[in-house]
A and B are shown apart, each in its own frame.
Chain A
């Protein structure tokens, strides 16, 4: 960890993911959204009829729902200017050698194949609208683990797919879930068999390269009884002067006694609207953990949810948001207690800097009958400048008297005493600031695999640059 390096020493002068790849997509839809675009997507994927019907219905639902008026400012999001589908290559590959050079090069620069060799159980890589690469280590494949692109999931496991698809997040759930349901493309289909325990993470990497691109991945994960796994998604894009758009839907089913952790390290460029629906259905004695790191994007609206439907289920959301100039992170988590003796915890840490705004938005709902349930929510917000803003909007709805629910939030600025102390120990003000921020997010960073924790720290360091003086 570069604790004793100076920020300048890191040589990270700018967002390092800005590079643009010159590629030759095989298909690009017309700008904007229409029935024609939806039919083109479905045709390219050679889908069954029911999926086309599903998409067309979802398009109608999308059109009928009003834009949300809460959360972030969506008035500058112009969907008519967005490309809803860009097909980068004709088929997905299972070996990096077969991925077109310019695309492979992109992922090389992002360090994906290297990470795959050293620390990951499987990798999926999405470029624009399609997964260009998907691969799982043989030892897990032999145990019956399924880790496929969502399109292959639909083709190879039609019954399992249809049994679960859109049961956790139906199209009408919200406007952007409806949009995703109409134009989804890419994402993963994951099945962890009974009792399988994958001790190193699976990772999906999402890259948007084109200008005015809309990316709509859809992921279904089924963790069967007693299984354990960790899935990580990472996201980047180059900075354009125009807006891009990412709207994923992630559905997770965690069956009895299973444990599943889903980690997002979102570092989209600052022209990205990132509107994502992530939800898990958690069965008896199972555990679902969301680790949600939101560092990039122009506006993120994202509230990972746990529906605790089985007795003794546990849900956890760890959320970290970093909003700097021009950014709004509207993030948080939702826990819904349905069954008895379910427990949950939401921990949110946010940092606002410059004109950045971070908002915590959350829900804790306890249904009648969820006796003996416990939930605890803690939100801490750190403000670095007098121009930064933070908000906290928790919803707590309790219909069961035998439940214990607590929520606490604090807002503070970086303590001057703390800074002076660190500076008196020889740290530059910037370094001191970075250190305070690192300390603030540590409870979350330490839950990450080491490589990601370092990455997170590096990002914080980078963001701190020029934050004082």
Chain B
């Protein structure tokens, strides 16, 4: 890795003055399968053509990218596809500690600065055709799994700039393929640790399941507090086959100094059950764009999110529940709590296409404001072009219940502890929908330590 970094840095520094772009120079240093390289180049071209979104566009009205300078970040060296596979005991201390309590997993991967140090997959699942491997290796060995899937998502014009940067600068990614009828009994869990600032980390996840398959995917983003900023870009493409059940959970608990942008496209086939949960606790700025495409009749999509912002953290969530097929169901519940001068944005849209009759679609955003200087903005939108539908949305902004607070204080708790307990309770409505107990507990622990319980 050290060599890769040196190359990128040197290339960046020497090229920067000439071509003006150390990122362009980074592309020149790569040696990878032609198909992947070609995609990077196309994405880079798009990236350079598109302007950086400004607050003048509705989608970026509340998040200011004017100080985002991708060129000031050196991309991590991309994965080679040849992974190390260290035992837990040989991992860096931070990573090893994270693996604790993760025995009950059907598959695990640990990435440090984009490089996989540890990966295991239950051999019984491998035998049944489950693939869990880095994108680069899959591109070499099973290219058919990527064809017509990787980077094919219908990315909106307002996401395209950062999506293009993500594809062009990809550090590495994981592919999970679950064949028809295979049920993965325990979660697949990926830890992504970043330890250096001034860097650009771009990670991608491609989840593909066959018919009637079943799997739970968990990814965690972690770092120490960083003095110099890290730019983290992440992409998810999820293709769920007819009748499949797929749970996707993302826990972002970076340290300070990180700007994290995540673009997620979930595509549901006929009678598919999808659920996604995004938890944002860390970073200085985190923005999630999540789209659930209900393309098959009878599909169900649950979209959940939690966030707790303090200091000057800024969380921005954009969602689209796109009902393209009739008789589908989607339910969104996004809950956030803010303190200090933190800020959050929720902008959600339910779009029901003409002909998507018998749609049931719901959207709820609830916000708790715990301090004088925090700000919450919520924009729950509907665009409905079919008449035989049941759609509703609701949004609230408020405080913790004073009565409950006094009750807890009368039982001897300090105001702060009482307030934290109530915030925890506020999140529980979402957490109890997490299907796997071990994962639920991990989320509770992460949230508990963030809010100081």
Q: Which residues of A contact B (CB under 8 A)?
A: 70, 366, 368, 381, 383-413
Contacts and interface: CB of A to CB of B under 8 A. Distances in A.
Contact of A396 (B372, B378, B389, B390): B378
Contacts of A412: 389-390
Contact of A410 (B354, B391, B395): B391
Interface in B360-395: 367, 369-395
B385 A396 contact: no
B381 A401 contact: no
B392 A399 contact: no
A437 to B, nearest CB: 14
Nearest to A70: B58
Main secondary structure of the interface of A (DSSP, over half): strand
B357 interface: yes
B382 A395 contact: no
B397 interface: yes
B399 interface: yes
Given A398-B369, A401-B370, A413-B389, A386 B375 contact: no
Contact of B393 (A368, A386, A408): A408
A412 B388 CA distance: 7
Interface string B340-374: 00000000000000110100000000010111111
Given A368-B372, A368-B373, A401-B371, A383 B384 contact: yes
B395 A395 contact: no
Contacts of B372: 368, 400-401
Given A398-B369, A398-B397, A406-B394, A390 B382 contact: yes
Given A384-B387, A402-B399, A404-B398, A411 B379 contact: no
Given A390-B384, A407-B380, A398 B394 contact: no
Contacts of A395: 377, 379
B397 A396 contact: yes
A387 B394 CA distance: 25
B158 to A, nearest CB: 13
Q: Which 10 pairs across A and B sit closest by C-beta, in order of nearness?
A: A401-B369, A383-B387, A392-B382, A405-B397, A411-B391, A410-B392, A398-B397, A413-B387, A396-B378, A407-B395
B396 interface: yes
Chain A CB count within 10 A is highest, among B354, B380, B399, for B380
A388 B383 CA distance: 11
B385 A409 contact: no
A334 to B, nearest CB: 14
Interface string B392-433: 111111110000000000000000000000000000000000
A366 B377 CA distance: 10
A391 to B, nearest CB: 5
B397 A403 contact: yes
A390 B384 CA distance: 5
Nearest to B375: A399
Nearest to B61: A395
Chain A CB count within 10 A is highest, among B355, B385, B387, for B387
B399 A405 contact: no
Interface size class, chain B: 35 or more
A386 B386 CA distance: 5
Contacts of A405: 395-398
A392 B375 contact: no
Given A368-B372, A386-B386, A402-B399, A409 B392 contact: yes
Given A381-B384, A398-B367, A401-B369, 5 more contacts: A383-B386, A389-B384, A390-B383, A396-B378, A408-B392
Given A396-B397, A404-B398, A386 B377 contact: no
B381 A406 contact: no
A321 to B, nearest CB: 14
23 contacts: A381-B382, A384-B387, A386-B355, A386-B386, A391-B383, A392-B380, A393-B381, A395-B379, A396-B378, A397-B375, A397-B377, A398-B378, A399-B375, A401-B370, A404-B398, A405-B395, A405-B398, A406-B396, A407-B380, A407-B394, A407-B395, A409-B382, A411-B391
A392 B377 contact: no
A387 B386 CA distance: 7
B276 to A, nearest CB: 23
Given A398-B369, A401-B399, A392 B393 contact: yes
Contacts of B398: 403-405
Given A385-B387, A386-B354, A403-B398, A409 B375 contact: no
B377 A411 contact: no
A398 B345 CA distance: 10
Nearest to A412: B390
A328 to B, nearest CB: 13
Given A368-B373, A386-B357, A413-B389, A394 B384 contact: no
B352 to A, nearest CB: 8
Nearest to A406: B396
B385 A389 contact: yes
A377 to B, nearest CB: 9
B396 A391 contact: no
A388 B377 CA distance: 30
Contacts of A406: 394-396
Contacts of B381: 391-394
B393 A398 contact: no
A92 B315 CA distance: 58
Nearest to A365: B377
Contacts of B58: 70
Contacts of B394: 406-409
Contacts of A394: 379-381, 395
Contacts of A390: 382-384
Nearest to B362: A410
B393 A409 contact: yes
Nearest to B355: A386
A402 B381 CA distance: 25
A401 B380 contact: no
B204 to A, nearest CB: 32
A389 B383 contact: yes
A358 to B, nearest CB: 10
Contacts of A402: 399
Contacts of B386: 383, 386
A325 to B, nearest CB: 15
Contacts of B385: 389
Chain B CB count within 10 A is highest, among A395, A398, A410, for A398
A356 to B, nearest CB: 11
A410 B355 CA distance: 19
A171 B53 CA distance: 28
A249 to B, nearest CB: 24
Nearest to A366: B397
Chain B CB count within 10 A is highest, among A397, A401, A403, A409, for A401
Nearest to B389: A411
A391 B397 contact: no
Contacts of A381: 382, 384
A234 B307 CA distance: 48
A395 B381 CA distance: 9
